[in-house]
């Protein structure tokens, strides 16, 4: 039904445009007063005004989006380095929004102010070294600041130092799902290669490697709060990307090689569910779901695939749970070790 409606609207729209075309054609034929360059002072006035109007519309819409859609953006970071990244984000965004708010009005404002008219003549002005130096210099200085701040943050994120030994977890990607492998009591992952994949040994773990035996393979990713986690990423077939947006983590999983990323989750799932932003978001989403007759949703962290990998790329996900240490230990005890699995 709605399809039909939209098609009708589209056809009507097309007809309307067709009519408008005719009217324009006729009216410009009647006027026939176009001068040589084809734009009149009146055109300049109208278009200048429209450009100014556009500026207000644009900024109005921008303000509306910032306010109205603030709630759809990701909630506060759930990891330590994520908080650093969020600070950098806020400051960089601040800088670019200011630049945006200065330059667009200049552009549209000048377009309006200096709209042409037959009696005026433009001012001849080729260049102005002082002015040019100024607007080369100012961005350069601001950028230097952003670069320094950005690089410091980056090196902090990528070369973490910790007092605590990180928990080693392998994240394994394949079309179209994820599995995790914990290093077990020795905190050492056993050797693995896709050539060894067979039957229940879906990750190709080498059973002859003694480090393998206590490894734990799971279909859900549990992490203890406040402990560094060192992720090792592998892929079985094509490139995937492990994206954990709530933790501000993203790393490609590349067949034939290993990548890694280390971070410290600092909010349990339960704590995150109580964050006011999250409570609010869940409420909105559940209203939407109720209206569609869908089951209510409870917030969970999630690992999603963020590198195009085939037909079900859009649905390649794994649930992530951040526990307290005790909860984590308890959960871990319930899991089978690789030796038991075999």
The nearer residue to another protein, 119 or 333, going by C-beta atoms, is 119
If binding is defined by CB under 5 A, does position 309 make contact with Cu ion? yes
Cβ atoms within 10 Å of 55's Cβ, excluding its own:
17
Cα distance between residue 202 and residue 286, in whole Å: 36
If binding is defined by CB under 8 A, does position 164 make contact with another protein? no
Binding residue (CB under 8 A) for another protein from 252, 324, 335, 337 = 252
Q: Identify residues 267-306 at the interface with Cu ion (CB under 5 A).
A: 305
Binding residue (CB under 8 A) for another protein from 162, 274, 284, 325 = 284
Fill in the DSSP letter of residue 157.
H
Kindly indicate which of the ranges 135-143, 164-172, 215-223, 325-333 contains the residues binding another protein, using the contact rule CB under 8 A.
Answer: 135-143
Binding partner of residue 304 among Cu ion, another protein, none, CB under 5 to 8 Å per kind? another protein
If binding is defined by CB under 8 A, does position 210 make contact with another protein? no
Per-residue tokens: 81: 């380095």
Nearest to 277 by CA among 72, 125, 82: 72
If binding is defined by CB under 8 A, does position 103 make contact with another protein? yes
Binding residue (CB under 5 A) for Cu ion from 171, 192, 242, 316 = 316
If binding is defined by CB under 8 A, does position 8 make contact with another protein? no
Cα distance between residue 273 and residue 78, in whole Å: 11
Identify the helix (H) or strand (E) that includes residue 220. none
Residue 239's SS3 state is coil
If binding is defined by CB under 8 A, does position 219 make contact with another protein? no
Angle (CA) 335 340 342, round 5°: 125
Binding residue (CB under 8 A) for another protein from 76, 83, 153, 209 = 153
Binding residue (CB under 8 A) for another protein from 15, 63, 151, 279 = 151
Cα distance between residue 153 and residue 69, in whole Å: 27
The nearer residue to another protein, 188 or 313, going by C-beta atoms, is 313
If binding is defined by CB under 8 A, does position 44 make contact with another protein? yes
The nearer residue to Cu ion, 76 or 238, going by C-beta atoms, is 238
If binding is defined by CB under 5 A, does position 174 make contact with Cu ion? no
Q: What is the dihedral of CA 204, 208, 213, 218, to 10 degrees?
A: 0
Residue 109's SS3 state is helix
Fill in the DSSP letter of residue 72.
G
In the block, tokens 């994820």 appear at 178
Please give the C-alpha separations between residue 149 and each of 36, 37, 77, 92, 98, in angstroms, as whole numbers.
55, 51, 19, 10, 18
Q: How far is CA 264 from the centre of its chain?
A: 20
**Nearest-approach distance from CB 205 to Cu ion, in angstroms:** 21
Per-residue tokens: 322: 């951040």
The nearer residue to Cu ion, 47 or 306, going by C-beta atoms, is 306
Kindly indicate which of the ranges 189-197, 220-228, 267-275, 324-332 contains the residues binding another protein, using the contact rule CB under 8 A.
Answer: 189-197
If binding is defined by CB under 8 A, does position 160 make contact with another protein? no
Cβ atoms within 10 Å of 256's Cβ, excluding its own:
9
If binding is defined by CB under 8 A, does position 83 make contact with another protein? no
What x-and-dash track marks residues 234-263 binding Cu ion by CB under 5 A?
Answer: ------x-----------------------
Residues in touch with Cu ion (CB under 5 A)? 240, 305, 309, 316
């Amino acid at each position: 039904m709605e399809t039909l409606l939209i098609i009708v609207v589209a056809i009507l729209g097309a007809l309307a445009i067709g009519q408008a075309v005719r009217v324009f054609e006729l009216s410009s034929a009647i006027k026939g007063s176009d001068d040589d360059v084809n734009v009149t002072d009146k055109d300049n006035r109208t278009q200048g005004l429209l450009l100014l109007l556009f500026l207000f519309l644009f900024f109005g819409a921008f303000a509306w989006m910032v306010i109205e859609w603030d709630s759809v953006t990701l909630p506060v970071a759930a990891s330590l380095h994520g908080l650093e990244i969020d600070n950098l984000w806020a400051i960089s965004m601040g800088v670019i929004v200011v630049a945006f708010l200065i330059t667009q009005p200049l552009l549209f404002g000048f377009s309006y102010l200096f709209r042409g008219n037959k009696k005026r003549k433009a001012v001849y002005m080729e260049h102005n070294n002082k002015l040019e130096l100024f607007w080369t210099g100012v961005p350069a200085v601001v950028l230097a600041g952003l670069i320094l701040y950005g690089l410091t943050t980056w090196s902090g994120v990528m070369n973490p130092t910790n007092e605590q030994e990180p928990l080693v977890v392998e994240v394994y990607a394949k079309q179209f799902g994820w599995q995790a492998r914990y290093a077990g009591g020795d905190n050492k992952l056993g050797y693995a290669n896709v050539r060894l994949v067979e039957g229940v040994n879906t990750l190709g773990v080498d059973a002859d490697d003694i480090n393998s035996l206590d490894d734990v393979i799971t279909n859900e990713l549990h992490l203890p709060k406040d402990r560094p986690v060192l992720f090792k990423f592998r892929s079985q077939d094509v490139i995937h990307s492990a994206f954990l947006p709530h933790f501000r983590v993203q790393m490609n999983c590349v067949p034939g090689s290993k990548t890694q990323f280390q971070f410290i989750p600092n909010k349990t799932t339960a704590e995150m569910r109580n964050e006011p932003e999250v409570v609010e978001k869940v409420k909105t989403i559940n209203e939407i779901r109720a209206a569609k007759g869908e089951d209510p949703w409870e917030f969970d962290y999630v690992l999603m695939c963020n590198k195009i990998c085939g037909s079900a790329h859009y649905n390649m996900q794994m649930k992530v749970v951040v526990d307290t240490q005790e909860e984590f230990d308890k959960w871990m005890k319930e899991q089978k070790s690789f030796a038991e699995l075999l």
